[in-house]
């Protein structure tokens, strides 16, 4: 019987118990639990008769797929599959977080939450886009205002006319 001491050029393979990634197994368990709850919750939906597909189809599909993915992840983890560490792309992990930008974004979001009922989605959404672009470093105010206004009005019309979801019109009530 040969050991790694007999052949110093060969390394002993790691034992399967130490090769398992416990956080990955935890994620697999979480996926199974969330998928099972989604599937169960779909059974509690009450729909009228005569609707063969109904609103339960999508939670059943999503719950089943989530459980299957969780089980596949658990099997892959138990077989020793370990994800590669990400290189961080172009992010230098030695630098601290930019908390000023985070605070600016939080302030813009808080402003939107506080003013959406009065100003309406079209105005608040445009200001949200402009504020986020400014917080993230954009210095082209005219372009940001134009893009924000077009996106906010287009999304308002999409939700209102296309989906039938009423977003607040605010100060533009009667104009939109």
pLDDT in tens, the chain (176 residues): 545 455 555 544 555 445 568 889 999 999 999 999 999 998 888 776 666 666 778 889 999 999 999 999 999 999 988 777 766 567 677 788 889 999 999 999 999 999 999 999 999 999 999 999 999 999 999 999 999 999 999 999 999 888 888 889 889 888 87
Burial annotation 141-164 (CB, 10 A radius, 16+ → b, else e): eeebeebbbeebbeebeeeeeeee
Q: What is the pTM of this model?
A: 0.54
For CA atoms 100, 101, 104, 109, the dihedral sign is negative
The conformation of residue 171, written as its DSSP 8-state character, comes to G
Q: Is 127 exposed, middle or buried (0-12, 13-18, 19+ CB in 10 A)?
A: buried
Q: Is 62 exposed, middle or buried (0-12, 13-18, 19+ CB in 10 A)?
A: middle
- The secondary structure of 116-168, three-state, reads HHHHCHHHHHHHHHHHHHHHCCCCCHHHHHHHHHHHHHHHHHHHHHHHCCCCC
What is the Cα–Cα distance from 128 to 157, expressed in whole angstroms? 17
**pLDDT at residue 176, as a whole number:** 76
């Amino acid at each position: 019987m040969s050991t790694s001491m007999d052949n110093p050029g060969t390394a002993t393979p790691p034992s399967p118990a130490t090769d398992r990634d416990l956080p990955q197994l935890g994620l697999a368990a979480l996926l199974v639990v969330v998928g099972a709850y989604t599937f169960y919750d779909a059974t509690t939906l009450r729909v009228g008769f005569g609707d063969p597909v109904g609103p339960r189809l999508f939670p059943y599909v999503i719950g089943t797929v989530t459980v299957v993915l969780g089980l596949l992840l658990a099997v892959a983890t138990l077989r020793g599959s370990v994800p590669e560490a990400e290189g961080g792309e172009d992010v230098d992990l030695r630098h601290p977080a930019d908390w000023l930008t985070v605070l600016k974004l939080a302030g813009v979001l808080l402003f939107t939450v506080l003013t959406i009922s009065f100003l309406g989605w079209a105005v608040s959404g445009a200001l949200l886009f402009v504020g986020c672009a400014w917080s993230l470093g954009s210095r082209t105010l005219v372009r940001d205002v134009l893009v924000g206004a077009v996106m906010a009005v287009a999304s308002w019309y999409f939700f209102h006319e296309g989906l039938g979801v009423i977003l607040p019109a605010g100060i533009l009530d009667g104009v939109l």
